[in-house]
Structure 1
């Protein structure tokens, strides 16, 4: 009887784990990447070959907390095997920023949450005219939409194409960046695909696309955990403009 009861408890715990998984992946993993980790504020899928995240995902809610200060504690990710890590020293060159994927200004509920956005696994080599312009502008808007809509879900990453440019110890530079913003309550999404170039925030509407297009160029599968009918509708639609 004791063995049966223990087995029952173990099975319940296991099923609970499968049912809930990572809180930052309520709609499924975009890919079973080499390294998948659920952090305090976001989930990450990291490619050992790319030495970069293929995707990061997080939820932004209407802010009800006092934000912590920006931690600025860039550092190697010791969860990644040594041979596949990136380092600050890789960026000791004159061109690229250490560009965040999971947005540090958005993930500021606790010191730990904000600090984890400064892990090098969350960085890609990003042109200053992209990072501080269109990318920052879209990060500002995702926070604005979280406030006005109550909650939005974000998936973002880089896309790599030959011929690849490298910095440091063979850290590749993305050819493109994507960002998907999903509003579950209204069953609406915005999907952006940018060339890695100097782009002004005022031109954001020019880079709206469909989730289907991003899946094609990235090889990832987004929002697979929602109802099939909703997924098919959301992924094929290209919004005519940003949300107000």
Structure 2
């Protein structure tokens, strides 16, 4: 790890030096064009000419809050993923949701944000990805969880029923594990019609907020000196009765990453993890 960091740092320093050198002596760069690093500088300079009026961007990659972190999809007006970390201690407290209201996130430009009006009379509830019940230790964290950047359109029965039970299950895990890390988000799954696959989802409101067909939740449960227990679940965004066993909706992390295009836990060696449902009941 140290060597990798050292090499990365050395490479970064070399690039910085090359950029400075390039700006001072362009003729020398072209004379040394057989050197790959100098070729990269030429590409960089050409890129800056191409992008004369700035770099297209989709906003910040990460947004940090009191007790959660998220990536936001400006096109769909929903989070891409929301990460949080809970323990038995952080679940204690007296912060209350009765003091909070759903609000547009002030950190997201209005043109890219959902509004409460988008949800009104839409037939969909405002579903927390980082649930309010995980933030009782801090009223500020509770407030943050009500920003619409943490919300997706969710089926009412699913929100109050099966998904809520899954959130409670995560909190119950803190009784048996020292630490529970969770990543949740919306997902649109393909369907097959006449032998062809399609992606289709509803949009609601004037801001065209995307309604996911499914929701996912990654659970990483930690005990000291033991392998991390991993559970990955994809839940249909529809009414589900409690006869459904949670393990019915379990998939592998690789399957979810392939579907979303996201490497969720790149620093976790999956070969050293265990299946959460093998060591802990997945009953909810």
Where in structure 2 are there 5+ consecutive unaligned residues?
1-56, 190-198
* Distance (Å, rounded) in 2 between the aligned partners of 1:86 and 1:94: 13
Higher-Rg member (1/2): 2
Determine if contact 1:42/1:58 at 8 Å carries over to the other structure.
yes
Question: Is the partner of 1:189 in helix, strand or coil?
Answer: strand
Question: Is the partner of 1:74 in helix, strand or coil?
Answer: coil
* Distance (Å, rounded) in 2 between the aligned partners of 1:154 and 1:50: 22
* Higher RCO structure (Cα 8 Å, ≥6 apart): 1
1:239 deviates by 3.8
Describe the shift of the 1:202–1:106 C-alpha distance in structure 2 as closer, same or farther (beyond 3 A). farther
> What number of residue pairs does the alignment pair up?
209
Matched, 1:74 2:102: yes
Describe the shift of the 1:201–1:217 C-alpha distance in structure 2 as closer, same or farther (beyond 3 A). farther
1:213 deviates by 1.3
Where in structure 1 are there 5+ consecutive unaligned residues?
1-31
RMSD (Å), alpha carbons: 2.2
**Structure 2 matches for 1:152-191, cutoff 5 A?**
152-161=180-189, 162-168=199-205, 169-185=207-223, 186=226, 187-191=228-232
Moved more, 200-209 or 102-111: 200-209
List structure 1 segments (4+ residues) > 3 angstroms apart after TM superposition. Answer: 32-35, 232-235, 237-244
* Distance (Å, rounded) in 2 between the aligned partners of 1:94 and 1:210: 33
**Structure 2 matches for 1:43-62, cutoff 5 A?**
43-62=69-88
Determine if contact 2:188/2:212 at 8 Å carries over to the other structure.
yes
Match of 1:29 in 2: none
Q: TM-score, normalised by structure 1?
A: 0.79
Match of 1:125 in 2: 153
